[in-house]
Amino acid sequence: MSSLVIILLLLAGLSEAAGRLLPLLARRPRTSRPLLIPLVLIGAVVEGAVFALWPLTAWTLAGLMRSAPLPGDAAFTWTPDLAAPLLLAAVLAFPLLGPLLHLLLLVAVGAGLVAPLAAATGLGWWAAAGCVAVAGFGLGIAVEVVRRLVVTASAITGVRGPAT
Assess contact for 87 and 44: CB atoms under 8 A.
no
pLDDT band with cut points at 50, 70 and 90 for residue 84: confident
Domain chopping of the chain, boundaries: 3-157
pLDDT above 70: percentage of residues in the chain = 75
Q: Would the pLDDT of 72 be above 80?
A: no
Q: What is the pLDDT of residues 5-43, one digit of tens each?
A: 888 888 888 877 777 777 667 777 676 667 778 878 888
Cα four-point dihedral sign 86, 91, 96, 97: negative
132 Cβ contact list (under 8 Å, min separation 6)? 54, 58, 110, 111, 113, 114, 117
Give the chain's end-to-end CA distance (angstroms, integer): 41
**How far is the C-alpha of 145 from the C-alpha of 160, rounded, in Å?**
21
pLDDT band with cut points at 50, 70 and 90 for residue 60: confident
Mean pLDDT of 73-90: 71
pLDDT given for residue 101 in this prediction = 67
Q: What is the pLDDT of residues 100-130, one digit of tens each?
A: 666 777 788 888 889 888 888 888 899 999 9
Q: Would the pLDDT of 161 be above 70?
A: no
Q: What is the pLDDT of residues 91-102, one digit of tens each?
A: 665 555 556 666
